[in-house]
Amino acid sequence: MSQPVVREIRFFLAHTPGLVRHGSKPTREIHANHSVWQDIRGSLRSFDDAVAYAPHQVMLGNMQPDDLNTAEAPWYENMLAEYSTSGPHGEMVNEDQFHGLLKAADEFDLVLLEEGYATRVAAELRNHPRVTDEEIERIQGVPFSRIEERLSSREGAIPLLTRDGATIGLVQTDYVDDPSLAPDILLENLAVKATATMALRSVLAESGTDPASLQYVIGSGEEAIGDRYNRGGGNLGKAVAEASACVNSTGADVKAFCCAPVHAMVVGGSLVQSGVFPEVAIVGGCSLAKLGMKYRGHLAKEIPVMEDVLAGFAVLMGPDDGTSPVLRLDSVGRHTVGAGSVQQAIVEALVADPLDRLGLKFGDVAKYATEMHNPEITDTAGSGNVPRTNYRLIAALAAQRGEIPTGSESRDKFVEEHGMPGFSPTQGHVASAMPFMAHAMDDLKAGEYQYSMFLAKGSLFLGRMTHMSDGESFIMEANSGAE
Amino acid sequence: MVVLLGSPTAESAEVYARTVTEGDPSWVGPLAGIALGLPVFHVLEEEVKSQFDAAVYKEQVSIMESVLDTDDIIDAMRQVRDAVGV
Amino acid sequence: MDLSGKRVIIVGERDGVPGPAIEACVRSAGAEPVMVQTQCFV
């Protein structure tokens, strides 16, 4: 039976300092105290600073994750001399371009942009290879007086601001009585659609895939699209397929908090292997709610508010082509109900079980991709270094099984060799293992190593339906037909 | 009433410990300015660890001792308790 | 500080020790968990 392969993966990043005020935590605290927005605004980065930020260049594929071990820290103070808004793994746009893309993704007149701003933004996007003429036409503005009137006269609209504090538009609901269609939720959902769409278009273009040949798109984000009768009803997958001209595709969403992308990869790979759909795309839009989540810690340390970037991704999977890295469906690791909440049991289920099944040792996997959250964002706000904690757990289990010596020295050696510094924006599910996949694809194709493991965890307990967390994992292997 | 924490860093352990003793140090939550004065420990501290069933602790928690910066967390907890007098 | 018979508020964390793991320890010490939470900051 043919094995599914991962043909391509791309990321789409948007630097959106003006939208930080719409992150969940800033929204609540600005509502309670208006001066909070001025405090945040004073610590927001310029677009150049965000692009020249080393972790973002790793996301775009212009640097390797391990390059961060030698990049001068703190990275937010040591901008790179050479940097680009695009790279082999993706692209990054500025907030003006992103506001234009929000308008382009909007089919219900939910976004209003001021006319002069809209004209300027449309001109900036006109030469973008993956923005259609029809979308450029859609980026029409309205007089500023209409935006002012809408914001002041009725409820159901929130302002769109740029980093410099100028109001350049708004997002409105077309049904004030439905809390599931509140403007902040519609903004979040449009941002998800825009980021996932740009990533999918990029994957299709870069892999030379005709959009019409794709048959299924799986959404794997954390958004809850729907109205009051079906909150979270979803199917971002199909909306993104439509926006990407995948006329012969349908889709569905896989929901599992931050580990949904790994679940979706397994579902997608299974659909390919079974022959139900020959090609499947997995997309994950951004997590706007998490903008500025740890702003308070950053302000207290007088460092930039670094949760100012939205990120989305798209992956294209297909049948074995003899060259692309293989997703080993026989390696899938599951955090079962019976495993409980014990960290050790979770790592056994996600790491040791798959290794045992394939007859591998911990050291046989060259690189483990866990939750790749940038530690500069989390550690400075007291939340610790998430990837390092995960790598230490894997090392501790390897030591327990006698595969590496015990003690912190060999632990740290294992972490350095088989792990990497975190480099992903803290965008929930997007950060979960996926950011390394683009690098692993390069390495596996180049024959640098044979195995890489991807594992993610989901905080189900946040939804109050269970105290449990969740997790899933799989191993990717270099394609033996490549030699 | 006792509060037990599972925080991953010394910094976050300190914030929670201060919140349930002298009040929210960030002054934004509902416990801003409210001194509950509750005894607070981290689950990795000997004072509470010694009272758990050893087998249960080993299965549920012990691996985290070698993963987290345990000494720093314990120091932070002691400092808060000493400073606040709980 | 004797845990036995005490009521305990548990604030676990996903990237540290999760609430249910602390809860199991607390019960083994003869204490009564009255609130079990697990925090997540990513």
CA distance B7 to B40: 12
Under an 8 A CB cutoff, do A384 and C16 touch?
yes
Is B64 in CB contact (< 8 Å) with chain C?
Answer: yes
pLDDT above 70 (res A276)? yes
**Is A389 inside a domain boundary?**
yes
Confidence of residue A7 (pLDDT cuts 50, 70, 90): very high
Tell me, what's the pLDDT at A155?
86
Quick one: average pLDDT of A15-28? 98
Percent of chain A at pLDDT exceeding 70: 99
Under an 8 A CB cutoff, do B67 and A392 touch?
yes
Under an 8 A CB cutoff, do A411 and B66 touch?
yes
A-chain CB neighbours of B55 within 8 Å are: none
Confidence of residue A447 (pLDDT cuts 50, 70, 90): very high
Tell me, what's the pLDDT at A341?
84
The alpha-carbon gap from C39 to the nearest alpha carbon of chain B, in Å, equals: 9
**Is A251 inside a domain boundary?**
no
Mean pLDDT of chain A: 96
Alpha helices in A60-178, H assignment, sequence order = 95-105, 115-125, 133-138, 144-153
C-chain CB neighbours of A292 within 8 Å are: none
Tens of pLDDT, residues A143-165: 999 999 999 987 899 999 999 99
The total number of structural domains that make up chain A:
1
Mutate to test the interface with A, among C15, C23, C25 (most CBs of A within 10 A): C15
The alpha-carbon gap from C5 to the nearest alpha carbon of chain A, in Å, equals: 24
pLDDT above 60 (res A47)? yes
Q: For chain C, what is the largest distance between any 2 Cα atoms, rounded to a whole number of angstroms? A: 35
Tell me, what's the pLDDT at A383?
87
Tell me, what's the pLDDT at A483?
47
**Is A219 inside a domain boundary?**
no
Residue A242 and residue A236 in contact, taking contact as beta carbons nearer than 8 Å: no
B-chain CB neighbours of C9 within 8 Å are: 1-4, 20, 38
Is A26 in CB contact (< 8 Å) with chain C?
Answer: no
**Is A342 inside a domain boundary?**
yes
C-chain CB neighbours of A341 within 8 Å are: 18-21, 38
**Is A93 inside a domain boundary?**
no
Tens of pLDDT, residues A348-382: 999 999 999 999 999 999 999 999 999 999 999 88
Place of tokens 């090392």: A395
Q: What is the CATH number of the domain that holds A440?
A: 3.40.47
pTM of the predicted model over 0.80: yes
The alpha-carbon gap from B1 to the nearest alpha carbon of chain C, in Å, equals: 5
For chain A, the 3-state helix, strand and coil shares in percent, each to the nearest 5, are 45, 20, 35
Which residue among A342, A384, A392 places its CB closest to the CB of B60?
A342
B-chain CB neighbours of A411 within 8 Å are: 66
Query: What is A245-292 written as a DSSP string?
Result: T-TT-EEEE---GGGHHHHHHHHHHHHHHHTS-S-EEEEE---GGGTT
Burial of residue A43, with CB atoms counted within 10 A of its CB: 0-12 exposed, 13-18 middle, 19 or more buried? middle
Percent of chain A at pLDDT exceeding 90: 96
Tell me, what's the pLDDT at A1?
54
Which residue among B26, B28, B63 places its CB closest to the CB of A396?
B63
Q: A448: domain range?
A: 326-482
Mutate to test the interface with B, among A39, A385, A389, A406 (most CBs of B within 10 A): A389
C-chain CB neighbours of A294 within 8 Å are: 41
Interface of A with C in 399-428 (CB under 8 A): 426, 428
Which residue among A428, A431, A469 places its CB closest to the CB of C14?
A469
The alpha-carbon gap from C25 to the nearest alpha carbon of chain B, in Å, equals: 5
Nearest residue in chain B measured CA to CA from A400: B63
Give, in order, the Cα–Cα distances in Å from A403 to each of A264, A361, A396, A449: 31, 7, 10, 19
> How many CB pairs below 8 A link B and C?
91
The alpha-carbon gap from C7 to the nearest alpha carbon of chain B, in Å, equals: 5
Confidence of residue A281 (pLDDT cuts 50, 70, 90): very high
The alpha-carbon gap from C33 to the nearest alpha carbon of chain A, in Å, equals: 14
Tell me, what's the pLDDT at B25?
82
Quick one: average pLDDT of B60-79? 96
Q: For residue A29, how many other CB atoms are within 10 A of its CB?
A: 20
pLDDT above 90 (res A342)? no
**Is A243 inside a domain boundary?**
no
Residue B41 and residue B77 in contact, taking contact as beta carbons nearer than 8 Å: yes
Tens of pLDDT, residues C2-41: 999 999 999 999 999 999 999 999 999 999 999 999 999 8
Residue A224: strand, helix, or coil: coil
**Is A357 inside a domain boundary?**
yes
